[in-house]
């Protein structure tokens, strides 16, 4: 291969469509013209969702913190979900943990926390003040599309690169590890809640994302290439 394999994935195709907005990418003087940003591919709005009994707690006036480890790197809740629950146990916030799988009986759940194996994020994120995540690309793009600031702790797969972009854009705080301490998580969440600049930066990316319609852009790009 003429370049490293990850570079080849992007630069060798006649057309490479990146599913995010340009605001979530570093300025690149060497960006090939064949790479185009088409905006995030967002999930369809959920239709069949029975709100859990605690759903009205989201409107209690307390800040809402959502923590998730996604659907792949969620075998060990002690990496992020459990430390987040304990870090914020004494704070005047509501913590929602979306585990992505069962086995929640193994967790310690403080009184100010609610735990669900699944909650549709399109319903929940508009009510969230801070997202704590290990940096899954889909979750991060969905959160930014709604202007939600992020605390990120992830190093596997592409997560370190996603965390770097969150820090660079100012839309959140990267903890620089996938095994953060309770102190690191608590300090970062409190910093994001206390400083409106993080939400302002997230909302700036939200505005950039609104300039795109991924399905239309993908269709037009592919049809243009075929012609």
| CATH classification code of 55-205 | 3.40.50.2000
Q: Environment class of residue 36 by beta-carbon count within 10 Å: exposed (0-12), middle (13-18) or buried (19+)?
A: middle
Distance CA 217, CA 72 (A): 28
Q: Please tell me the predicted confidence (pLDDT) of residue 47.
A: 85
CA-to-CA dists, residue 219 to 13, 45, 215, angstroms: 17, 21, 6
pTM assigned to the model: 0.93
pLDDT along the chain (227 residues), means of 10: 90 94 93 93 88 95 95 82 97 95 79 94 97 95 98 90 97 95 98 98 98 96 92
Where helices occur in 132-181 by DSSP H, the ranges are: 137-145, 159-169
Query: What does the domain layout of the chain look like in residue ranges?
Result: 5-39+212-226, 55-205
């Amino acid at each position: 291969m003429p370049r490293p394999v990850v570079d080849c994935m992007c630069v060798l195709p006649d057309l490479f469509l990146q599913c995010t907005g340009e605001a979530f990418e570093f300025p690149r003087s060497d960006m090939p013209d064949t790479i185009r940003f088409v905006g995030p591919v967002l999930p369809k709005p959920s239709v069949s969702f029975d709100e859990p009994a605690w759903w009205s707690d989201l409107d209690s006036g307390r800040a809402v913190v959502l923590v998730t480890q996604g659907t792949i790197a969620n075998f060990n809740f002690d990496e992020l979900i459990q430390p987040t629950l304990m870090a914020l146990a004494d704070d005047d916030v509501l913590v929602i943990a979306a585990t992505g799988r069962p086995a929640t009986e193994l967790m310690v759940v403080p009184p100010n926390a609610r735990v669900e194996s699944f909650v549709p994020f399109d319903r929940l994120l508009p009510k969230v003040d801070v997202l704590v995540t290990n940096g899954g690309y889909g979750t991060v793009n969905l959160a930014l599309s709604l202007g939600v600031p992020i605390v990120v702790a992830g190093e596997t797969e592409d997560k370190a690169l996603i965390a770097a972009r969150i820090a660079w854009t100012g839309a959140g705080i990267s903890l620089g590890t996938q095994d953060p301490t309770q102190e690191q998580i608590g300090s970062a969440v409190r910093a994001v809640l206390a400083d409106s600049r993080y939400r302002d930066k997230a909302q700036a990316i939200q505005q950039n994302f609104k300039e795109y319609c991924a399905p239309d852009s993908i269709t037009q790009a592919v049809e243009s290439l075929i012609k």
